Amino acid sequence: MNKKERVQYLIVKLEELYPEVPIPLQHKDAYTLLIAVLLSAQSQDARVNTITPILFAKADNPYDMIKLSVKQIREIIKPVGLSPMKSKGIYGLSKILIDKYNGQVPADFEALESLPSVGHKTASVVMSQAFGVPAFPVDTHIHRLMYRWNLSYGKNVTQTEKDAKRLFDKELWNKLHLQIIFYGREHSPARGWDKESDIIYQTIGRKKL
C-alpha cells in the first residue's frame, strides 16, 4: 500500500472498530474538562476519573476552586502524581479565568496555552472536545502508533501532530485522535504488545521496528 491507501484503510478500520468514542475523562463543562486534562499528564485517565469527583464535589468552577488553598488542592489530587505542580497550576489558572475571562474558559488556543500548567496538548483537547474546534492532540499512544503504522517519522509529538494534520482531513481530527487512542490502549500498547494480533500493524505497519 502507498501512504494514501494506508491512511484510507486506517480511517475505515477505526470507524468500523470504534463508531462511537466517548471522551475518556469525566467532566461536565469546559472548566472541568480543562482541570481533568491537566491532571491526566503522566497519569492514567482511569485514575484521574477517581479523583475528579472528589475535587469537583468541593470546587467545579474557578470561583469555588480559589476558595481552596493550593495545599488543599494538592492533598486531594496527590494520587494522580505531580501534585505540587498541578495544584499550583489549577489554582493559578482558576484565578486568571476569573480575573481575565469572567470565570469562563476561553475558546482560543493562544489564551489557553498562556494559562499555568496548560500546554499545547491540553489546549488541543479542550478546543476539540469542549468547543468542537478541529484539533489533533497527540499523546504517547498516538505518537507511538503513527510511527508503528508507518505514517510518521516524528521524533517528537510536535512533528507527529504536523504529520497527522497533513495526512487526515480536518473534519476527521476530533474523532480520529480518540479512535487511535482507544485502539492503542486495546491493541497496540507500549508494553506487552502482541504484534501478531495487531490487525492494523499487520496490514499497514512498519515491519522493521
Reading the block at residue 132, the C-alpha cell is 468542537
Confidence (pLDDT) at 9: 97
Question: Domains of the chain: which residue ranges?
Answer: 3-21+136-204, 30-129
CATH number of 30-129: 1.10.340.30
pLDDT in tens, 160-204: 999 999 999 999 999 999 999 999 999 999 999 999 999 999 999
Q: Is this prediction's pTM over 0.95?
A: no
Cβ contact 93:104 at 8 Å: no
How large a percentage of the chain has pLDDT more than 90? Answer: 93
pLDDT in tens, 3-48: 899 999 999 999 999 999 999 999 999 999 999 999 999 999 999 9
Q: Which residue type occupies 175?
A: K
CATH-assigned architecture of domain 3-21+136-204: Orthogonal Bundle (1.10)
pLDDT in tens, 46-59: 999 999 999 999 99
Confidence (pLDDT) at 154: 81
Residue 209 has pLDDT above 60, yes or no: no
**How many C-beta neighbours within 10 Å does residue 121 have?**
21
**How many C-beta neighbours within 10 Å does residue 13 have?**
16
Query: CA 197 to CA 8: how far, in whole Å?
Result: 21
Q: Which of 150, 174, 196 is nearest to 7 (CA)?
A: 150
Reading the block at residue 194, the C-alpha cell is 502482541
